[in-house]
Amino acid sequence: MYRQLSSKDMNTSPSFHNQTILLVSDSVLVAQAMEQFVFNGLGMQVVARMHTFDNIQDAVRRFVPDVMIGYFSQLDTQQIECVRLAAIASPHLHILVIASTLSISLVQEVFSAGARGYLLDMPSREELLDALGRMMEHRIALDARLRATPEGKRLVIGW
């Protein structure tokens, strides 16, 4: 369902709470939990959930989400390529990656691929919403535990 934009909508930036979200996860249960407990009551609409990465570009083009949240139980080249393909399909897409790796080199690859945010595994609702807010403000969203490291500080300053 689409709604017609008014002139007011076109002259202001989109509301944080009106964002459409594409959930990409290698865990069906995590994606369902995020949809039910994190976004419930916020007015954010999950337009699709994907559990394979085969057609990520098609999904981004079809659903035209504002945000893609990628939850990956393991971060490697396949998931980073998923981020890259989504960013190519929609250069204005805000991509947030959630994974368990503390490897700053992999995190840098995620940002180089097109992500605008990275959180460590299973962030709280507040951390997730803060990251989405930072990305809406065109700032980098980096987990506080990584921001506190010298490498993380350099990463934030570099963006």
Pick the residue with more confidence: 87 or 126?
87
Tell me the whole-structure pTM to 2 decimals.
0.84
**Domain for residue 72, yes or no?**
yes
> For position 92, which CATH number holds?
3.40.50.2300
**Domain for residue 91, yes or no?**
yes
* 88-101: b (≥16 Cβ within 10 Å) or e: ebbeebbbbbbbeb
> Which token pair is 8?
């007011």
Pick the residue with more confidence: 125 or 115?
115
Are 98 and 53 spatial neighbours (Cβ–Cβ below 8 Å)?
A: no
Q: pLDDT tens digit string along 85-116?
A: 999 999 999 999 999 999 999 999 999 999 99
**Domain for residue 121, yes or no?**
yes
The overall average pLDDT reported for the chain is 84
| Alpha helices in 17-148, H assignment, sequence order | 28-33, 56-63, 77-89, 104-113, 125-136, 144-147
| Cα distance between residue 118 and residue 106, in whole Å | 11
**Domain for residue 4, yes or no?**
no
pLDDT at 9 over 60: no
C-alpha dihedral (21, 82, 132, 26), degrees to nearest 10: 70
Are 69 and 24 spatial neighbours (Cβ–Cβ below 8 Å)?
A: yes
- Residue 75 is which amino acid? L
Give the mean model confidence (pLDDT) for residues 126-144: 91
- Residue 60 is which amino acid? V
Q: Note down the domain range covering 130.
A: 15-158
Number of domains in the chain: 1
**Domain for residue 138, yes or no?**
yes
Count Cα neighbours of 115 within 13 Å in the Cβ-side half-sphere. Answer: 27
